[in-house]
Amino acid sequence: MRVGRPVKALPQPLCDYCGAKAALARHGDDAYPYRDDHGPVWICAACDAWIGVHARSTRHVPLGRLANGALRDAKSRLHDALEPLVAAKVRRDGVNAFEARGKAVRWLADELGFELASPSLHLLSLEQCEQAIAHIEAFVAARRGHGDAR
């Protein structure tokens, strides 16, 4: 019999696309989506949707929501659009990249009215990613003087 604090159940993410329970996959499993070992992922093989696990998580806590190909592509494009702003903040203010990225995500969430529990892009939907990319592009264009943004 265990005495002490109760042990929390392991997270069991559900697929946003089909509602099925995701399965934990590791390097070497048939369903594992990467060629190299990128750490464990929660995966819905039916929808080809997956999400990684926090780096040092002993309980395999997912990084966010399961993402299909379109959402993974949108998140990648969003990161690519945000990185020049992050690099500029690092150069201008002398902060580290993690702090600059967190401030950039908070700025973006405030600008667009997104409710984010943490400064992370992992919980954004496809529509929110597309909206954020358009906002960043308009912001950059306005800063360069190539048009009226907003």
Question: pTM for this one?
Answer: 0.80
Instruction: Give the per-residue pLDDT at 2.
Output: 62
Instruction: Give the per-residue pLDDT at 110.
Output: 93
Instruction: Give the per-residue pLDDT at 15.
Output: 94
Q: Which residues of the chain have pLDDT under 50?
A: 149-150
Q: Which of 113, 122, 141, 130 lies closest to 42, judged by CA?
A: 122
